[in-house]
Structure 1
Amino acid sequence: MSTRPRRTAAALALVTLTGLAVACSTGEGAPAAGPAASGRAAKDVHVAFVAAAANLNFSQEMMEGAKYAGQELGADVQAVAPPGPDGQAEVGLFQQVIATAKDGVGVMTLNPELFTRPAADAIAKGVPVVAADVPLSGVTTLVSNDNPAAGALLADAVLAGLPADAKGTVVLGVPTPGIPVLDLRAKGMKDRLTAANPNLTVLGPFDSKQPPDENYKAWSGLVRAHSGALAFMDAGDPAAFNLPKIKQEMDADWLCGAFDLNDAGLAAIKSGQSVGVVDPQHWLKGYVTTRLLIERALGKREIPKGFWDSGAAMVNKDNVDEIIARQKGAEAKAAWYKKLIGEQFADVAGRMKPLS
């Protein structure tokens, strides 16, 4: 990996979301009420979800999905993340939560190389581990996206805003080079752009940095260096608001798009400053990962091995209001995702693909 998120020695701001063991109406596809096959009460099940950064959308969404799975099934769920991207701090949180989350831990990290030994140690102690978004060495279940296809979605949105015979440059950025999820998104963008229009010159992907302030500086420099480009595209979260901000500050007319959801990024779509963002539906990843752990503890099913493709969707001016409404609160998100949950859990064994 050519760069990693900044690792600081600052004290951790622990973000904890606990699903209380309360009676909740189950969503479509949830296990029927009744005694667990394991003989355990749901309130006695303790799992955790460890995410990469409390200040970034993808982590926030996954933790909310994990929390809802606990509320829905009546289990105790602890969701934690360091304040910002900090791989060593995240490992420390993981090692803390496995002391109490004996029924399993879901992990989403931007530093998978740091989790090889900690994950192996947890599994050796009998604590199941499921990877979300980014694969982990030695972990046999991954809940993620078809990332080349997700990158192609964003490329299609940019292509729709350009003349069919447009000739010029498109600049790509990846906020954490070396992370397979992000690199594959960029590959999907590049492959679709060049296949659709051979007149386009695709540059990058360049390192656009993960921390929001560093991402802004990196993209400001890239835009100045390639001021004649037709479009700027990023595989990550901070650029969803930073690229439109730079575009507005420069009074420019190039196109831009990125990934993930945040209020500023959605507002930029409404105002026309962004062609859109790809929503990797991170809430669903957190939910699926956590539900699989809970259901195993309750004896409902074994955790399936392989890759669970949780899906992705394009957010543009046509559906941005619907997504803004979905993002207003936990219950709105749960209601919106109910159909997808039912569809994805209808045939769990048939859904799984090989990890390779």
Structure 2
Amino acid sequence: MGRRGICYIDLRVVILLTAVAVLIVFTGISYWRWVKVTRVEFVSPELRSSWHISGQNEVKEIVRQVKASTGSGQEEKGSNNCRDMFRLRLFSRREVRVFTFSGEERIFDTKNRVMLNTSPGLKKILMEAVRELRIRSPYGELLSWNVVRELMPVEGEAEVTDPETGKTFSVRRTGGYSHADVIPVSKKDESVVRQIFGGEWTWKRRAVVVVTGGRKAAASMSGMPHRQGTTDGCFDLRFPPEKDNESGDNMSHRFMYYKAAGKLSELLGEASLPEFVLLLFTAIDQRDWQSMDIMLSPAAGIGGTKLEQVIGVTVYDIKEDKDNSACRMKVSVSFRAGPYNDKRDLTVRVRWDEGMGHYKADPGFLQELLRGI
């Protein structure tokens, strides 16, 4: 019988093939880890809120639904996605993919510049994200008084937050027909109210957010306790009326509604030139220096300046220049140590700011407004 053939295997070949296989597997795993989305973030710059999701099942489902969304495949050259209110960010080691959206119907892929029609599953996710971002936002909704009065019945309590300071206090509604008359629930709450208004009682207004009936409503609050009916120590809480200029509504209250809703830029963008100037002087009259600076270019900055001495200013007889570059007006201004109701002629020069989407005023008029102080 012949000898059986013996097959010899070169050990070096085995080692090489094994090394190649290991390298392929390792490379595949590394690439998968490199491109795998590990975290999702929803953001709203306008609402100043964010929602982070890191649970892998939730992340995987969101990524799957984004991939299931379809688009035209053509680049949206004219898409102005920077105006979208919300952002969806997908985080991986390789990159951060960003999508923007205003509603749940479509999202804009900023990397490929393609508009995508959202899948049914992604629509539900985006709707949930918007609700969550609104809850987490320091701002409130522009709910009309007719809606709020049902959410906040007489003797009902609400939580009020001042977005600018972050301070919160509780109130009880005691009455009110065109607005809510409220009293602080406790002495501690009353102390917080006084702190918010700079340590003094004043008829000046503040933009506040009222949480009641499971909703967050934008409101304007006056800082002067007064007697209403048989109740002492009441404060006025006003909410947007069904129609502008209804009883009790004026520009200063409207200014505060929009600020409390995080929509002050929207109000400024829709204003005509004279309306913008009136809104600027509303900020000065209400001693809202933060909002005033938003409307000036460059910002004035009020630290240690004479502006702190202003206690009130009223504008009348305002006229717009023909070239839309300025408004001329007469004002009555009062200062802490006098003079009071001093009449002055002012010219406010403005320009349109494309980036901000509203007018900006040159702060030069402040010199005449503060003359002699």
Compute the TM-score of the two structures, normalised by the length of structure 1.
0.31
Which structure would you say has the larger RCO, counting Cα contacts within 8 Å and 6 or more residues apart?
1
Look at both structures and tell me which one has the larger radius of gyration over its CA atoms. 2
Larger relative helix fraction? 1
